[in-house]
Each structure stands twice: as structure tokens, then as C-alpha cells.
């Protein structure tokens, strides 16, 4: 792991994740299983006293409504203008983009990826996206991706 990533991650107070392609690879595993997994992951962030959020272009549906009800999960949905939506959330939380980690996988994620203090993309992302981030995540799906990021966070806290 690059030392600059370990330095930057120490300032992160909000970890934002894109939904489709990052946390949710396919819905074939079932929404209830995915929701339980997200609820558990939110608890991992809470234990570390850091914020967890999801930002997605996905329109309001059953999954979005249920995610909105997850404890310790900040949710922004139905937006293609993710950087602007994140900025509004940051104003409410009294945080700056330097305190935000974001992981996205699509071209529309690039403006937010470039504004954040630390950014990542899954290994299966488009080449243009991978070129705009601080590091690439090898994990696949919610649990693997979040575990990899939290391992980096925990390692940085020990330094």
C-alpha cells in the first residue's frame, strides 16, 4: 500500500460508496441478504466512529427504501450529479471533501472521485475511472470491498 494512501486515510471521516458495481455486484443473491450485509458493515464503521454512506443514481425502489432505513447509513439516491449531492451532505455534516473517501466504478463517478480527499475504484472499473483514483480495490462485492478498505484504515491508525 502506498504510504500516501495511509496518510490520507487518517483524515477520512466519511466513507462513501457507489451502489451498483461496487457494493452490489448482482441482485441474484437476494435483497434481504444484501441488506443484512450492509447493516453489519455499517456497524463496523460505527465501531470505528466513522460515517458510512451510499450514493447512487438508482431511482427509489424497494432496495433504496430499505437502505434508507439502515442504522448508521447515509443514503443519497436518484442523482447523476453525485459531486453536488455529496457537497450538500457535507454541508449538513460540517465536513469538507478532504475528509471524504469515495469509491466508484463509472464515468459519472469521476467528478466526485476527483474532489474527495481519497478515492478508489474496483479492479473491474473502466480504465478512465481507474486513472482518476488514488488506489484500486481488489475486493468484489460489499463485504470484500469494505473489508479491504477498513483493513487499510485500521493499518493507518496503528502508524
Q: What is the pLDDT of residues 92-133, one digit of tens each?
A: 999 999 999 999 999 999 999 999 999 999 999 999 999 999
pTM check: above 0.85: yes
Contact 50, 14 (CB under 8 A): yes
Domain span holding position 48: 3-158
Whole-angstrom Cα distance, residue 92 to residue 89?
Answer: 5
Q: Using CA atoms in the order 144, 147, 153, 158, what is the torsion angle rounded to 10 degrees?
A: -130
Q: In what order do the strands lie in the sheet with 14-18?
A: 73-76, 51-55, 14-18, 100-103, 118-122, 135-137
Element (H, E) at 52: strand 51-55
pLDDT band at 1 (very low <50, low <70, confident <90, very high): low
Q: What is the DSSP letter of 97?
A: G
Query: What angle, rounded to 10 degrees, do the helices at 142-158 and 31-47 form?
Result: 10
Q: SS3 of 68, please?
A: helix
Does 26 score more than 70 pLDDT? no
pLDDT band at 27 (very low <50, low <70, confident <90, very high): low
Whole-angstrom Cα distance, residue 108 to residue 82?
Answer: 8
Domains of the chain: total: 1
CATH number, domain with residue 53: 3.40.50.1000
Amino acid at each position: 500500500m502506498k504510504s500516501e494512501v495511509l496518510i490520507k486515510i487518517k483524515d477520512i471521516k466519511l466513507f462513501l460508496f457507489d451502489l451498483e458495481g461496487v457494493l452490489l455486484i448482482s441482485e441474484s443473491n437476494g435483497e434481504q441478504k444484501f441488506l443484512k450485509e450492509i447493516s453489519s458493515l455499517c456497524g463496523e464503521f460505527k465501531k470505528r466512529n466513522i460515517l458510512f454512506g451510499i450514493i447512487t443514481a438508482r431511482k427509489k425502489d424497494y432496495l433504496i427504501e430499505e437502505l434508507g432505513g439502515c442504522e448508521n447509513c447515509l443514503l443519497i439516491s436518484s442523482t447523476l450529479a453525485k459531486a453536488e449531492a455529496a457537497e450538500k451532505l457535507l454541508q449538513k455534516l460540517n465536513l469538507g471533501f478532504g475528509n471524504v473517501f469515495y469509491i466508484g466504478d463509472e464515468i459519472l463517478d469521476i467528478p466526485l472521485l476527483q474532489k474527495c480527499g481519497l478515492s478508489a475504484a474496483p479492479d473491474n472499473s473502466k480504465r478512465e475511472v481507474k486513472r482518476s483514483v488514488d488506489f484500486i480495490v481488489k475486493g468484489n462485492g460489499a463485504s470484500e470491498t469494505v473489508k479491504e478498505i477498513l483493513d487499510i484504515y485500521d493499518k493507518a491508525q496503528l502508524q
